[in-house]
Structure 1
């Protein structure tokens, strides 16, 4: 059973969400990672910005109202800010109400951090995701490494991600990985990837070229990755999708994904 964001599910939901976000951090491994009081401090010089954010997980004891609690939370934030200053990066925190200290969002707002990028964390049982569908001109190929055609689609759709930094990030992934390509004839028109990790598989890097949209290419990618995940011991899938992407949200809903929780980011800005 996958916990949902509902009354009474708090403890189980928090444990699930923390576990999934840490799996995602291993599937998107930053160049530099430090663990401080259970918080993941991550810096990456060249790939996607969300790779280089703080995961404020771990034992906290920071939910109480007393001053010692507030001071400890401020100390941890200052430690993170020092980490990013040392690496020449911008301090950014991933804020998940279900899984991080209750006072963190307000503290960062008071320090001038900007709020942006609302994200939905979703999950599905592998058995509920429609598998690969036969027939039609579209074919799916699964590979264990991304080739130039895979990167070309990602770059065409998202405008980046084909350079040395992105390739280096994928080289650092330690878990079993699958790179899916949907082909129309000899042309790759959609891609995605998955990483298996302790009973779950994360879905990442979904992209379909505009000319192939509305033809089921994205669903074919998800079906192929679900089949691969099941064959690699994963009973459940998870993914992260921005809330302002309605086409992707519809695709994932049709494939059986349901929202576990939402989160957002706080990025250092001008001090008040």
Structure 2
């Protein structure tokens, strides 16, 4: 749970902005929840997310949620963030939802973050086909589907940056950021394995932070798996701190 009232407010602001920064192909708003569907590409875009503190799901709502996801060929998935009411959290666990992943929401101030002037760092306002293909090639499983990735990215309506890092003119690393009302989400950081350990990932994240600051954003936020020690150390070194923790749970069968 966030440790202060201000952190609680920031956690809610991040969770609400995530819906726009990483849009699903279709959404339904049910009470204080948004149900998102995107052909199974990514966890966030194919799960139910609470939008307000104390968000509840009664048995009828849970039944409807499960029916809707199964009708779309998906396992019912719920993101249990600090916004979820404790009774709903208990009801989800009682139904047998298992943990798919555990993540941290992190945040960093953007004051005095310079705009990158490195020649190898390139930013586009919209994702080119080369960028989408490059990101998809560095993913595994369903996330390697370039068409589904492109379908999500095409729905972004906010100021965005699609970053590439070039080595000898060829892109070897990627990342993106989306700015909304003073805050920018950073995500999809991926790097060709042959170029890891050279500080490129750090330069991409720092470059996106510089872009976000130039848009007038005061903070950058991101989500990272709790067990990803390399990424956690990188983000902490760039000024990110843990804001909240959450888990995504799936119902099988």
TM-score > 0.5 by shorter chain: yes
Instruction: Note the alpha carbon deviations across 1:120-165, whole angstroms, 9 max, x for none.
Output: 100001126575375xxx7101111222432343233223345211
Cα offsets for 1:77-133 (capped at 9, x unmatched):
22322332343322100001x221112222111111112301010000112657537
- Flag structure 1 segments of 5+ consecutive residues without an equivalent: 63-71
- The equivalent residue for 1:41 is 35
When the two structures are aligned, how many residues end up with a matched partner? Answer: 251
User: 1:29 Cα shift?
Assistant: 0.9
1:89 paired with 2:74, answer yes
Matching residue within 130, 149, 152 for 2:130: 149
Matches within 5 A, 1:18-37: 18-37=12-31
Contact 1:37/1:58 (<8 A) preserved: no
Aligned 8 A contact 1:156 1:209 in 2: no
1:207 aligns with 2:195: no
CA contact (8 A) 1:28 1:169 kept: yes
Instruction: Say if 2:224 is the partner of 1:230.
Output: no
CA shift digits 1:160-192 (9 cap, x unpaired):
345211101100011111011111121111110
The structure with more radius of gyration: 1
> What displacement does 1:32 show?
1.5
Aligned position for 1:175 = 158
Partner of 1:124: 108
SS in 1 for 2:16: helix
Asked whether 1:252 is paired with 2:235, we answer yes
CA–CA distance in structure 2, aligned partners of residues 162 and 151 of structure 1? 10
Normalised TM-score (structure 2):
0.90
Root mean square deviation of aligned Cα:
2.1
Give yes or no for contact 1:60–1:101 (8 Å, CA) kept in 2: yes
Runs of 4+ in 1 over 4 A off after TM superposition: 59-62, 128-131
Match of 2:60 in 1: 75
SS in 1 for 2:49: coil
**What TM-score do the two structures reach when normalised by structure 1?**
0.84
CA distance in 2, matches of 1:130, 1:240: 23
